[in-house]
Amino acid sequence: MRLTGLLALLLSGMISFSSAAASDIYKYRAADGTILFTDQPQDRVGSGHTLLSIRKGWNYQPRALSDAERDRYDTLITFAASQHRVDPALVKAVIHAESLFNPKAISRVGAQGLMQLMPETAAYLKVSNPFDARENILGGTRFLAYLKGKFSTLDHILAAYNAAEGNVRRYGGIPPYKETHAYDLQVKQLRHRYSSHFVAGLGDEKVVYASPIPQ
């Protein structure tokens, strides 16, 4: 398969992976104490950030997702979306891109669960157990709703989810990180694919659901 064809499949979600991207992840502390995770080295970030650590990238291991894996959380997703007025297809797309529907997923920078919440974000969202599917989806959807209130475009919302709200403000849009640009494209394509899985009322503002939330 040509590289261009493979790239198209990756971004569309037709092929999925059990590990995250191969870029090195740099951890910095800004002058105001904010922690920044990025794939950009020191000379690209600037002297105002102190390098704390570098996590080396690793290789993808491709695997196919079954329909059961993709659809097992649809009831939870629909409930959370209805509670926070977020498009359920977007929530499902984020889960797909972040964790491949693995509730026990842990990234190499410490993000946890289905929607890959960082510990600080989980604490802010009052998610006591990020590996519990219900808590994680409710918390992650609430975070998307928060970002939706801060940014007017989906590109900026997704960039903030992936690369932090402060970076979107700093660059006045999507930060110049390859990972973030690829993430934005992948989630939008996945959202389009999953849009037919849910019954929607008024765009992403009203969601109709039939099954009760599992306990």
- The answer to whether 98 is a known catalytic residue is yes
Give the active site residue among 69, 98, 135, 179.
98
Of 143, 136, 147, nearest to 101 by C-alpha is: 136
Catalytic positions, written as ranges: 98
